[in-house]
Structure 1
Amino acid sequence: MPNLLAKKPLSALLSEAKQEGEQTLERVLGPFSLTALGVGAVIGAGIFVLSGLGAHYAGPGLMLSFILSGLGCAFAGLCYAEFAAMIPLAGSAYTYAYATLGELFAWIIGWDLTLEYAMGASTVSSGWSNHFIEFLRIFGLKMPLWLAYDHWTGLRAATDIVARQFVSATNPALLPGSQEFLLKLDAVKNAQTPELLSHAHQLLNAPHLFGVEIGVNIPAFIIALIITTILVIGIKESAKFNAGIVMLKVSVVLFVLGLGSHYVNRANWGTDWHSYAPNGFAGIGLAAGYIFFSYIGFDAVSTTAQEAKNPQRDLPIGIIASLTICTLLYIGVAAVLTGMVPWREVNIEAPIARAFLDKDLGWASNIITVGALAGLTSVMLVMLLGQSRVLYAMANDGLLPRSFFASIHPKFRTPWKSTILAGLLAAIVGSVTPIDDIGKMVNIGTLLAFVIVCIAVVVLRRTNPDQPRPFKTPGIYLGGLLPVVPILGILFNGYMMYKLGWINWARLIIWLIIGLVVYFFYSVKHSKVQAMPAAMTTGRPMVKGVAARE
């Protein structure tokens, strides 16, 4: 019988981290590149898109929602930093779980990270497409709806266009975008009359395949393939490309803060708690659960551990610095957005760009659209980078076919086969699937990973207390008894998981069941750890100084 809780010895992990050669990843990333990867992964959909949805849940309290999400990530990020410095291997939370909780938990978290990275990239590619379509409109160009969206999203877009035309024609005195206009628009769309649907299908004008309307998000498909090509060519080239994009999008965010601050009306923030948080703390918590997607990706920095020049020093810097920078920018943008526009009137699809359009600043809105495109591009790059590295680590352990997933390109020194597979998966899913449901699945999967890392750092402190730790998570114990930071990480991230609702819990459970089928039918039979002597995989404390001598 296999030992499902067999742990991968730290001595084996540290030995792998020291390996060099043509079949290993190239160490070229410094602290600036790692921080840029973190910022590149984080600033994107959340700040340019999801802030609108969050405002409708939290009101001006959206600022607190970003703080709540940021704190959950900060507590988990400190735990990630300790692991990343101690075990500088690709694989992130998967590798950390293998060393502390055992193989079954490692497989669960590795499978779960696929939900975060590959599906996250799919979600972002769809969001990128929406902003690309807006970018084309600057030049007066339009794409057919059935080529610009997946079928369901394209039909919704067509329905929205027809409904807007109807409301404008029957209520010419209403200002488009006003609250009254939006209420009438919702009433028309919710009615779903046969006439409305008929006109929407005519506007969509989609071809049929076997009698069924089809729609393919071509921009989402193409951008995913372009990013995949860049990642295959090399990590150094990918890091340079990402750094350039990060500088552009951070400049756009600072532009939003600088210009937007001149149009802030403090009355929009409210005068008391009820007006500041119209749905109470429950609304702030719900918004935090949804906008948590804004922070997804900082943990991808740890997946590049085998490509960092000095991982023990630079990985904690990259993780903590990127989280700090992004949280401050998020809070500032939330303050400007809810100060420029009353929270009930914040646009959901493109909240920041629309806020500037409402102030007759069309040129500024165009700049923001370019920044959003840049932001979403770098998010996709880092997510696909993280996915391929997790698959690489799992394959090296025998849990996935090594000949495919751990294959290193002889020239580019990248895991090219797994990168191409992850890119194709993101391209296909992003081009035919609606963005909303995938995004919620990504959130709950990532939150689960954060909770497990917070647990694992405490476990390893007890099972291997003498293991050298170049970076130590502060506040692990209060008075030698209570692991404060990990417990706060578990509570904050667990609360946000709870707020996402039972439907997303059901989706997560189904996804994990599929993963367990793969594990028991393939992975457990090919696992390298299962083939080790039992005494090596029990996770007993190491003799003091052994790891240091090795």
Structure 2
Amino acid sequence: METETKNYSDTTSVWRRKPMYLYEQDMKKSELKRVLGKWSLTAIGIGAIIGGGIFVLTGTAAHYHAGPALALSFVIAGIGCIFAALCYAEFAAMLPVEGSAYAYAYGTIGELFAWAIGWGLILEYAMGAMTVAVSWSGYFNKLVHLFGFDIPFWLRNDPVSAAKYAADNGLAAPGFSINLPAFIIVWLVTSVLVRGIKEAAGANNVIVLLKVAAVLFVIVVGVFAVVPANWQPFIPAPEMIQGETGAPHSAYGWGGIVSGASAIFFAYIGFDAVSTQAGEAINPRKDIPFAIVTSLLVCTVLYIAVSLVLTGMINYKDIVGDALKAPVAAAFEKAGKPWAVFIITAAATAGLVSVMLVMMLGQTRIFLGMAKDGLLPKFFSNIHPTLKTPYKSTILVGLVVSIVAAFTPISILGDMTSFGTLFAFAMVCLAVLLLRRSDPGRERPFRAPALFVIAPLGIIINFYLIVNLSEIAQLAALGWLLVGLVVYFIYGRRHSNLNDL
């Protein structure tokens, strides 16, 4: 122990690593309640994965990227996820602490690298929560419309979208507009998270059951509406089409399949969120790996099935590409099954709530891990004395997410979330590989099989998918990482707990 402490305290390098014994101390001193079993953790993973991918991004990816071959996009993304998931599972079993990939990198690669991952995870979860909040608003507006009530357009759109809506419909531009449903749902989720993890997990479990039932409903009912001709050609020839932002871009063919895989990677951050709950798991060394792998496998199979049904029901060019127009529900409407629209819309409206819940939950636990290490202010690690939740950071996250979701048109946030996810996945694969070499004798309750094949393939696939994201998203995400470096050198490095070793 003394030798380990000396080795770490002798350096002021940005590559200094957090000693493993400090992780063990963190686990013993944790004030969080350990109330999550393996099925609650699995439900958290499924709760995050199912939602954005099936109810929001399937339409976008099919229409703008892959066509019927969207199923192959999910296969590619799923393979990349499996490699990363096995690496996550090995680390989560060794280091069952909050912080996810950030914590793993801090103990193996170094502080600056860990900071970059943590900052990227903040981008991933914050952007993801904002995107889903706006998508939820779209489904909620469709739901109330089905019951004969329409929310005024200036109360359901951000200022830019409201102005566009007014222009398209010959209306006067409103003096004020806000996406009120998105704003309200974020605060409802925030209130649940502040109350406690047990309450949040209980609500999530109920929603996940409803959501899985709805997805199975989509598959079973949709199969009978499939017209095999809609799958021809399964991989459409490459062509230039008008993208989501209005600018032309190349779609379909192999390039479209890969770009589709990059775009829908946003949907796979659920199992990553499972690892952020290690501090609240009853038996994290066994249950976290189980939940990570199980939630990923279940959801990947469901994704592939839904994508085949969706592209088989109607022609891929007729699929709604706008996430705000409820693509899956719209497909059933066009396929002549309007009665199914009620069920799907209601399930999606409820289901997207659990996605927001898990994303905001993961966000606050990343903050908690970084604040405990001194890289962020102690404000983010304050635990409520009775509720045992990081209530201050939860409220702050709710404030930021609700304001951005209410007033900002969101078109590239999905891609930016994918950037943060892919970056974190690749770094976890690298970190677990390095630790196997540098500390092969360490106890590993779960060992990723064939690691020296799996980890390199995970790195390659995830970086390949990053390259295939939109250029705007790449530049915006890189800009975010540069801002993070400034914050690290101004605050994080100077206040790191490792300075006191």
TM-score by length of 2: 0.92
| Residues 139-158 of structure 1: pairs in structure 2 closer than 5 A | 139-158=147-166
Does structure 2 conserve the Cα–Cα contact (< 8 Å) formed by 1:86 and 1:468? yes
1:74: which partner in 2? 82
Q: Tell me the CA shift for residue 362 of structure 1.
A: 1.6
Q: Are 2:174 and 1:206 equivalent residues in the alignment?
A: yes
Shift of the 158–487 alpha-carbon distance from structure 1 to 2, 3 Å rule, reads farther
Q: Are 2:24 and 1:27 equivalent residues in the alignment?
A: no
Whole-Å separation in 1 of the counterparts to 2:238 and 2:298: 25
1:181: which partner in 2? none
Q: Tell me the CA shift for residue 351 of structure 1.
A: 2.2
1:292: which partner in 2? 265
Whole-Å separation in 1 of the counterparts to 2:150 and 2:235: 44
User: Out of 40, 43, 57, which is 2:50 matched to?
Assistant: 43
Q: Write the letter of the residue equivalent to 2:49.
A: V
Q: Are 2:473 and 1:504 equivalent residues in the alignment?
A: yes
Whole-Å separation in 1 of the counterparts to 2:471 and 2:142: 35
Q: Are 2:374 and 1:389 equivalent residues in the alignment?
A: no
SS in 1 for 2:224: helix
Whole-Å separation in 1 of the counterparts to 2:340 and 2:232: 26
1:283: which partner in 2? 256
Does structure 1 conserve the Cα–Cα contact (< 8 Å) formed by 2:119 and 2:484? yes
Shift of the 466–255 alpha-carbon distance from structure 1 to 2, 3 Å rule, reads same
| Residues 42-191 of structure 1: pairs in structure 2 closer than 5 A | 42-56=49-63, 57-160=65-168, 162=169
State the structure with more CA Rg.
Answer: 1
Fraction of identical pairs, as percent: 50
User: Out of 408, 415, 420, which is 2:395 matched to?
Assistant: 420
Shift of the 311–7 alpha-carbon distance from structure 1 to 2, 3 Å rule, reads same
Q: Tell me the CA shift for residue 441 of structure 1.
A: 1.2
Does structure 1 conserve the Cα–Cα contact (< 8 Å) formed by 2:412 and 2:472? no
Shift of the 419–440 alpha-carbon distance from structure 1 to 2, 3 Å rule, reads same
Q: Tell me the CA shift for residue 18 of structure 1.
A: 2.6
Whole-Å separation in 2 of the counterparts to 1:274 and 1:122: 32
User: Out of 278, 287, 292, which is 1:314 matched to?
Assistant: 287
Per-residue CA deviations over 1:258-277 (Å, capped at 9, x if unaligned) read 11100111121126755799
Whole-Å separation in 2 of the counterparts to 1:74 and 1:159: 46
2:19: which partner in 1? 9
Q: Tell me the CA shift for residue 422 of structure 1.
A: 0.9
SS in 2 for 1:378: helix
User: Out of 173, 182, 188, which is 1:220 matched to?
Assistant: 182
Does structure 1 conserve the Cα–Cα contact (< 8 Å) formed by 2:67 and 2:235? no
Per-residue CA deviations over 1:99-126 (Å, capped at 9, x if unaligned) read 0111111111111111011121011101
User: Out of 293, 301, 305, which is 1:332 matched to?
Assistant: 305
1:192: which partner in 2? none
Whole-Å separation in 1 of the counterparts to 2:55 and 2:407: 22
Q: Are 2:320 and 1:347 equivalent residues in the alignment?
A: yes
Does structure 2 conserve the Cα–Cα contact (< 8 Å) formed by 1:60 and 1:276? no
Q: Write the letter of the residue equivalent to 2:219.
A: L
1:513: which partner in 2? 482
Does structure 1 conserve the Cα–Cα contact (< 8 Å) formed by 2:413 and 2:473? no
1:438: which partner in 2? 413
SS in 1 for 2:277: helix
Q: Tell me the CA shift for residue 314 of structure 1.
A: 0.2
Whole-Å separation in 1 of the counterparts to 2:260 and 2:430: 25
Bigger Cα displacement from structure 2, 347-356 vs 260-269: 347-356
Measured on the aligned residues, the alpha-carbon RMSD in Å equals 1.6
Q: Tell me the CA shift for residue 405 of structure 1.
A: 0.7
SS in 2 for 1:436: coil
Q: Write the letter of the residue equivalent to 1:300.
A: A
Q: Write the letter of the residue equivalent to 2:38.
A: P
Whole-Å separation in 1 of the counterparts to 2:399 and 2:80: 32
| Residues 396-545 of structure 1: pairs in structure 2 closer than 5 A | 396-402=372-378, 404-476=379-451, 483-532=452-501
SS in 1 for 2:367: helix
Q: Write the letter of the residue equivalent to 2:449.
A: P
Q: Write the letter of the residue equivalent to 2:130.
A: S
Q: Write the letter of the residue equivalent to 1:519.
A: Y
User: Out of 337, 341, 344, which is 1:365 matched to?
Assistant: 341
Bigger Cα displacement from structure 2, 238-247 vs 46-55: 46-55
Q: Write the letter of the residue equivalent to 1:336.
A: V
Whole-Å separation in 1 of the counterparts to 2:287 and 2:312: 37
Whole-Å separation in 2 of the counterparts to 1:260 and 1:272: 18
Q: Write the letter of the residue equivalent to 2:498.
A: V
2:224: which partner in 1? 262
Q: Write the letter of the residue equivalent to 1:74.
A: I
TM-score by length of 1: 0.84
Q: Write the letter of the residue equivalent to 1:37.
A: I
Does structure 2 conserve the Cα–Cα contact (< 8 Å) formed by 1:127 and 1:435? no
Does structure 1 conserve the Cα–Cα contact (< 8 Å) formed by 2:219 and 2:305? yes
Shift of the 106–433 alpha-carbon distance from structure 1 to 2, 3 Å rule, reads same
List alignment gaps of at least 5 residues for structure 2: 1-10, 240-250
Q: In the comparison of the two structures, how many residue pairs are matched?
A: 476
Does structure 2 conserve the Cα–Cα contact (< 8 Å) formed by 1:2 and 1:524? no
SS in 2 for 1:28: coil
List alignment gaps of at least 5 residues for structure 1: 163-198, 208-213, 477-482, 533-550
Q: Tell me the CA shift for residue 153 of structure 1.
A: 2.0
Q: Write the letter of the residue equivalent to 1:293.
A: F
Q: Tell me the CA shift for residue 310 of structure 1.
A: 0.3
Shift of the 484–146 alpha-carbon distance from structure 1 to 2, 3 Å rule, reads same
Per-residue CA deviations over 1:285-312 (Å, capped at 9, x if unaligned) read 1111111112122201000001000001
Q: Write the letter of the residue equivalent to 2:332.
A: F
Q: Tell me the CA shift for residue 489 of structure 1.
A: 0.9
1:174: which partner in 2? none
Bigger Cα displacement from structure 2, 290-299 vs 26-35: 290-299
